[in-house]
Structures are given as structure tokens and as C-alpha cells.
């Protein structure tokens, strides 16, 4: 289906003091993001780790948390860090674990539940194990805010629980020893969109400040895993997240972490002192490998990789993680093809796609549902059939708020949670057919009057004369790009293909040299990743309109401007 290009309304820039200080195109891009005042723009560009991170002791309950950990240290109590199995939870667990080691705490364990057998969050089986291990204090990371009953059980077992989480607040908040969550009312957080690892980092900040202020500079060495978890969890890269991600990317390039260094070698990930990674590189090369452990087996291997200091052991772990990631890619592709066939044969006229199988791993069902949704532009649910129930993931399209529809089906659900575009569910076997029917009916109704078409949002239409090294350098100052701070998307019309060739493994990518139809000597190199299938017949002298990002490309010390093609249209006249 051809994408509709929707160019945003060209914003008016009137402040002369801004025009003198900033590139005009940059000012337009920032205005489109709601940043028009000089103070807002100066703050966007001038952020500093030492000056702009908020005080962790402004957070409600933080003093209480620090004093409880000091008590545990003095009395040599056993502390359990209870994490989650995704990259955010694993990195958050590692942040607290390494902080406690810096404090000199030795009686620490990290418990990450098994995705397949235990599911998300605290569970009573885990509590029984931790009680048997004589645990005195549980600190959750990236989970816990919905575990009201489990925390009541922990109290009966004589275990204090500190919750650190970032998920939405339920109607009934657990009565834990302390709750650190930026979504709580009047919580004291300067920024409420932190990832779980960001919340854990605020706790680490407080502990360093209170207990080992002489070592506070060492806190920066945690920023590599803070950045990985923050970027992996797709939280907005603005505010405090922007600081954590920006400085974290620098620390990744200089990381002392043995496991990451081995992972870079094994995965052939090009990161070094001289090559700071982008947020995109973390999101698509590092985070999937960390996630693969929990998706395909158990997340303990990823946690161990991040905290291991022995190079030999770390090498073995990196190889195992790499193998799990390759297996994840292979199985995801196989299941996608299975459901693709089902969707084409049985859901051509349907607005809601569903599929299930007892052999599909729970950990990758969200990935598959997302790919099916992207291809067919319809809400999709993919489920694993278990002994008494179905467990799985939904993904949706912008036109359908899937959580709103799930709430209308909650009488048929055992458990559900998520947000407008992604959710997880558990459904008993007796209700599955009723659920399919009701969901299909509600989605059909929701889309009855809506025309579904993939829309590509374009920030600005610019001319080739406006593409310059000055613009490239100013765009780099806007990094790191990600959710909430997307890389700017431009369009330019009427370019002539001066040269074209197919490149890359599998012959999937177009490499073009473009020039302006209006003449001029300037030529632009462009790369169109995975665009050969969509545009197989491109040839020299074709006239095209393009949508693209502007990037700096460096090879063997030589730098050049490169247009990263997102989409194009071939002009026939």
C-alpha cells in the first residue's frame, strides 16, 4: 500500500534574536515540536549531566528508601532485587546490583522471573523461594506497582518491599514499605517519563550522595546500561531521559563493562572510543540481544553478562546471547510467515487478525504481532495455547485504541494490560471464541467509518540548496533521536537519478547519486535501505520525489553528507 506523505504545517518564525543564533531550518523543526521561546530552545540544546539532573531526594519516599538500605547494610540483612525480563528490567537490576556492590553490600541476590512459567511481576512462587532464602528486603525494579496481593503476602512472610517502578498507577496501590514511581501524584520527580532503569538510577544517585559521596563520579560508569534500558523501553528522549541517553551513549563508547565489550566483538557491533553509538544503533543492535535472553530462555544470562568481570566467562555469555538472538530472529520470521499465510487466506475481508499455536514462544509473540500489524494495517493478536489458557500479545494501528476495546472485553479476560497500541492478555480456553468474536465486532465497528492508509509524517519540505554541512552539524546537536525526539524527516521534489546501483547482502538496498532537476553542480549520495523490492525498476535519469533523513556518513576517515531514503515516488512526467 502506497504511503500518503503528510507534510506538517510550515511554522512561522518571527523572533529575530533566534534567527541570529540558530539555523532557520532548525528553528522550524523545534517550533514543530512546540519549542518557540529562546529559553526553551536554549534548554533543549544546553543540557549537562552535572548541572541538569534533578535532585533524587526531592522524590517522595527516597529518604525512607535510603535509610532502609542503610539499616540492611548495618544489620547484614539479605536484599533481593526483583527485576523484569526485558532490557529495561535487566539493566535496572544491574544498576542496583552494582550500586550495592559499590556500597560494600555482599548479601544480595537478583531474582528475575521466568517469562514462560512465572510471567510479569512478583508472584507467590518467587516469594516462597525468597522467604526460604531468608530474604529481609525486596526491592523491585521495573515492576511491582500492580502486585497488591503479592506484597501483602510478603508482609505476612516478614519481608519488607520497596517498589521502584514506572508503570501506570492502578486503582489500588500496594501497601509497600516505600513506593518510588514517577506516575504517583505529587511524587516529587522532575520528569515523569523515566524508564524503569531511570527510576533505579535515581535510587542509585541518592545512595551515592548519602552513603559514598566520595565515589559519586563512579556513578557515571552506570550510564552505559542506563542508556541501553532507557532507549530499549521507548520512553521519550527528552527532559532527564535526554541527559541519561546522551551521556550514556558516550559511556557505551568507553565502557569498562567486560560483557558489553565481548558482546560488541561477538555481534560485530562497531562501537569504540572513536565511534559513539547512536540511539538507533542501541535500539536495533544492542537492546534486541539483551532482550533475546528473556524472550528465548531466561533473562539471567543477560543480567550475568552485564555484571560479569571475568573475560572468559563474559565471552561465553556473549556467545550464548548472540545465539539466542539469532534463534529469536529465525523463529520470529518462521511464525510471521505462518501467520502471514493465515491472514491472506482467512482474514482478507476482516479488520481484526488473530492466530494461536501451542508451540509459539510467548517471548516473541509481541514482535510477530507487530510485524503482522505493520504489513496488514490491522490490529492483531498472537497467542500461545497453554494447558488451561491462552497467553499472548496484541498490537494495533493508530486508528484503534486497543486498551479501550480490551476494557470492553474484560469480562472475558483473566488478565490484561498495556497501552493504546500494544497490550498483553491472558484468556481462559472456555472464553477464547467469545473473545475473538467480540473483539472482531468491536474493531469492525471502530473502523467502520475510517479509511486506513499508511501515513508518512514529513517535518519540512526543503530545497537541495538548503542541504549543507552547516545543517548537518546543527542536526547532530539535536541528538540523541528516538521516541519523543524523532529524527527530522524532510522531503525534496524533482531530483534526477544520476547513478544507481543495488548494494548489500541479499541485494535489498539502493545506492543512488541524485542531482537537482533545476541544474547546479551539487550531487547528493543517497541510500535506500530495503527499498529494492518496493522500487525494483529504478534507473538512471528517472525523476523522483524523496522523503529522507540527512546524515553524516564516515568511511575510512572521509566524511560526506548522505540522504537516508525513507520513501520515494517516481514521476512520470
Spatial separation of the C-alpha atoms in residues 280 and 554, rounded to whole Å: 16
- Distances 308 to 94, 260, 300, 313 between C-alpha atoms, Å: 10, 10, 12, 7
Q: What is the pLDDT of residue 287?
A: 96
Same-domain check for residues 129 and 233: yes
Q: What are phi and psi of 109, to 5 degrees?
A: -130, 155
In a domain, 336, yes or no: no
Q: Do 215 and 130 share a structural domain?
A: yes
Q: Are residues 62 and 172 in the same domain?
A: yes
Domain boundary among 399, 416, 447: 447
Does residue 47 lie within any of the structural domains? no
**Which pLDDT score, from 0 to 100, does residue 20 have?**
74
pLDDT at res. 302: 96
Asked whether residue 556 is domain-assigned, the answer is: yes
Number of domains in the chain: 3
Within a domain: 89: yes
Query: How would you label 452-483 residue by residue, b for 16+ Cβ within 10 Å and e otherwise?
Result: eeeeeebbbbbebebbeeebbebbeebbbbbb
Q: Are residues 439 and 526 in the same domain?
A: no
* Predicted local confidence at residue 198, as pLDDT: 97
4 located within any domain: no
Domain shared by 304 and 354, yes or no: no
Calculate the CA dihedral of residues 76, 78, 83, 89 and round it to 10 degrees.
20
Task: Classify residue 210: in a domain, yes or no.
Answer: yes
Q: Does residue 416 share a domain with residue 505?
A: no
Q: Looking at 447, 466, 496, which one is the last position of a domain?
A: 447
Q: CATH number of the domain that 228 lies in?
A: 3.90.1640.30
Bond prior to 480 in cis (omega within 30° of 0): yes
Residue 223 confidence (pLDDT):
98
Do 419 and 492 share a structural domain? Answer: no
Rounded distance between C-alpha atoms, residue 346 and residue 541, angstroms: 43
Question: Residue 117: what pLDDT?
Answer: 84
Local structure of residue 105 (DSSP, 8 states): -
Judgement on whether residues 430 and 466 belong to the same structural domain of the protein: no
List the CATH number of the domain containing 470.
2.40.50.140
> What's the pLDDT score for residue 13?
76
CATH number of the domain within which 432 lies: 3.10.310.30
Instruction: For residue 468, give its domain range.
Output: 458-571
Does 337 fall in a domain? Answer: no
Q: Are residues 308 and 359 in the same domain?
A: no
365 with 386, same domain: the answer is yes
Residue 193 and residue 299 in one domain = yes
The last residue of one of the domains, among 447, 474, 490, is 447
191 inside domain: yes
- Residue 213, C-beta contacts closer than 8 angstroms, at least 6 positions apart: none
User: With a cut of 70, which residues of the chain have pLDDT below it?
Assistant: 1, 14-16, 573
Report yes or no: 92 and 199 within 8 Å, Cβ to Cβ.
yes
pLDDT tens, position by position, 490-548: 999 999 999 999 998 878 899 999 998 887 778 999 999 999 999 999 999 999 999 99
Query: Model-level pTM?
Result: 0.90
Q: Please give the pLDDT value at position 15.
A: 64
Residues 361 and 289 in one domain: no
Contact by Cβ (8 Å): 407, 418: no
Per-state percent for the chain, helix, strand, coil, to nearest 5: 45, 20, 35
pLDDT value of position 14:
66
pLDDT at 16: 66
Amino acid at each position: 500500500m502506497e504511503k500518503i506523505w503528510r507534510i506538517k504545517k510550515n511554522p512561522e518564525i518571527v523572533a529575530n534574536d533566534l534567527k541570529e543564533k540558530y539555523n532557520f531550518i532548525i528553528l522550524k523543526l523545534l517550533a514543530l515540536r512546540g519549542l518557540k521561546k529562546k529559553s526553551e530552545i536554549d534548554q533543549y540544546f544546553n543540557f549537562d549531566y552535572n548541572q541538569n539532573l534533578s535532585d533524587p531526594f526531592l522524590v517522595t519516599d527516597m529518604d525512607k528508601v535510603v535509610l532502609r538500605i542503610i539499616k540492611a547494610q548495618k544489620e547484614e540483612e539479605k536484599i533481593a532485587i526483583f527485576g523484569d525480563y526485558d532490557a529495561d528490567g535487566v539493566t535496572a537490576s544491574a544498576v542496583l546490583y552494582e550500586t550495592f556492590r559499590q556500597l560494600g553490600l555482599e548479601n544480595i541476590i537478583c531474582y528475575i522471573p521466568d517469562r514462560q512459567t512465572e510471567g510479569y511481576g512478583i508472584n507467590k512462587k518467587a516469594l516462597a523461594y525468597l522467604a526460604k532464602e531468608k530474604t529481609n528486603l525486596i526491592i523491585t525494579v521495573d515492576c511491582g506497582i500492580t502486585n497488591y496481593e503479592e506484597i501483602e503476602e510478603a508482609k505476612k512472610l516478614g519481608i519488607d518491599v520497596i517498589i521502584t517502578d514506572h508503570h501506570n498507577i492502578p486503582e489500588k496501590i500496594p501497601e509497600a514499605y516505600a513506593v518510588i514511581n514517577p506516575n504517583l501524584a505529587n511524587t516529587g520527580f522532575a520528569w515523569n517519563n523515566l524508564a524503569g532503569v531511570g527510576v533505579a538510577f535515581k535510587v542509585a544517585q541518592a545512595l551515592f550522595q548519602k552513603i559514598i559521596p566520595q565515589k559519586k563520579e563512579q556513578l557515571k560508569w552506570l550510564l552505559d546500561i542506563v542508556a541501553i534500558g532507557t532507549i530499549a523501553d521507548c520512553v521519550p528522549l527528552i527532559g532527564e531521559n535526554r541527559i541519561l541517553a546522551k551521556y550514556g551513549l558516550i559511556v557505551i563508547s568507553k565502557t569498562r563493562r567486560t560483557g558489553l565489550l565481548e558482546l560488541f566483538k561477538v555481534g560485530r557491533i562497531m562501537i569504540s572510543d572513536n565511534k559513539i553509538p547512536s540511539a538507533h544503533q542501541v535500539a536495533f543492535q544492542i537492546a534486541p540481544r539483551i532482550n533475546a535472553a528473556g524472550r528465548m530462555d531466561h533473562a539471567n544470562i543477560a543480567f550475568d553478562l552485564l555484571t560479569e568481570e571475568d573475560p572468559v566467562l563474559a565471552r561465553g555469555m556473549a556467545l550464548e546471547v548472540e545465539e539466542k538472538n539469532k534463534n529469536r530472529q529465525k523463529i520470529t520470521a518462521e511464525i510471521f510467515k505462518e501467520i502471514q499465510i493465515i491472514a491472506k487466506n482467512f482474514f482478507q475481508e476482516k479488520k481484526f487478525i488473530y492466530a494461536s499455536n501451542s508451540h509459539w514462544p510467548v517471548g516473541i509473540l509481541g514482535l510477530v504481532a507487530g510485524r503482522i500489524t505493520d504489513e496488514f494495517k490491522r490490529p492483531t493478536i498472537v497467542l500461545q495455547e497453554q494447558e488451561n489458557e491462552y497467553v499472548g500479545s496484541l498490537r494495533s494501528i493508530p486508528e484503534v485504541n486497543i486498551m479501550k476495546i480490551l476494557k470492553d472485553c474484560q469480562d472475558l479476560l483473566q488478565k490484561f494490560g498495556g497501552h493504546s497500541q500494544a497490550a498483553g492478555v491472558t484468556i481462559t480456553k472456555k472464553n477464547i471464541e467469545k473473545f475473538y468474536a467480540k473483539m472482531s465486532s468491536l474493531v469492525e465497528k471502530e473502523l467502520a467509518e475510517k479509511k486506513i492508509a499508511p501515513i508518512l509524517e514529513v517535518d519540512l519540505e526543503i530545497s537541495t540548496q538548503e542541504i549543507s554541512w552547516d545543517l548537518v552539524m546543527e542536526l547532530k546537536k539535536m541528538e540523541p533521536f528516538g521516541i519523543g525526539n524523532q529524527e527530522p524527516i524532510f522531503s525534496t521534489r524533482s531530483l534526477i537519478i544520476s547513478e544507481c546501483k543495488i548494494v548489500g547482502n541479499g541485494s535489498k538496498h539502493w545506492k543512488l547519486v541524485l542531482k537537482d532537476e533545476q541544474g547546479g553542480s551539487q550531487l547528493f549520495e543517497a541510500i535506500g535501505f530495503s527499498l529494492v523490492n518496493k522500487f525494483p525498476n529504478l534507473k538512471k535519469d528517472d525523476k523522483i520525489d524523496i522523503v529522507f533523513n540527512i546524515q553524516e556518513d564516515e568511511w575510512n576517515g572521509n566524511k560526506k553528507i548522505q540522504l537516508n531514503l525513507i520513501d520515494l515516488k517516481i514521476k512520470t512526467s
